[in-house]
Amino acid sequence: MSGARLSDKNALVCGGESGIGAAIVRRLSAEGATVLAAGVQVERLLALADEAHVLTAVCDVTDQAAVTRTVDRAAALPGGLHIVVNAAGIMHADNVGDIEDAVWDRLLAVNLSGTMRVCRAAIPHLIAANGGAIVNVASVAAFNGSAGMASYASGKAAIVALTRTLANEYGRYRIRANTLCPGWVRTPMSEAEMAEVAQHRGITVEAAFAELGDRIALRRVAHPDEIAASAVFLASDEASFVTGAVLVADGGARIPATARAP
């Protein structure tokens, strides 16, 4: 890293207090950007502020008033708002036949509508700054038909469509919008998933992750910083002609076209 690629940029990262979001916050800051990390976990935000020397804001992306305040605060930084990253997300396992309305509504409210609300609030500020970059974090679940991912995958797939329409409509204002779709990443969310798998199968969490890695071309799950590097590329001027794109960072997990054993 140069440590100065983004020295003239101001960035807002929603869902920036943990996991992939926190890694993106750290990476943006290390590249010289002034970063406002927003989320709902206050203690993690405070710790991140001390560690990465960033600004923080408590923001629930299901609350439009909170979103507006947070986006306006980021846009009030000297020079305006240049980069918006939507990394806020939650996960719950379900199938189409057993989806609960409350779970479906909650996942879409956070993962999809939350992303939309932040983008909607940010667009006027990005236009005022003569353009900028939006990076919406989705998931390879948007393309995979995995069992147990009905509500989650639906929301993530919709983020891809939302981002592409945004890119088409606002490209005239020099706003670029791209979707980042990670595969398996070692985060608190994936730790919780693997803990359930480990308990069900009577193995350790590390063993569960190892078995998972065996199904990935690179034979491992990602570190959050690897996904953050992809996000920073999409946010930077190095991706100046990239918009409406989907960057899949899954270590090659989607390469196999069948379930045929190796």
Q: Which two tokens stand for residue 148?
A: 């147990």
Tell the burial category of 227 from Cβ atoms under 10 Å away from its Cβ (0-12, 13-18, 19+): buried
For every residue of 57-111, DSSP letters joined together read: EE--TT-HHHHHHHHHHHHTSTT---EEEE-------B-GGG--HHHHHHHIIII
Catalytic amino acids?
A: 152
Q: Which amino acid is at 172?
A: R
Order of all β-strands in the sheet with 34-39: 55-58, 34-39, 10-14, 83-86, 132-137, 175-182, 246-249
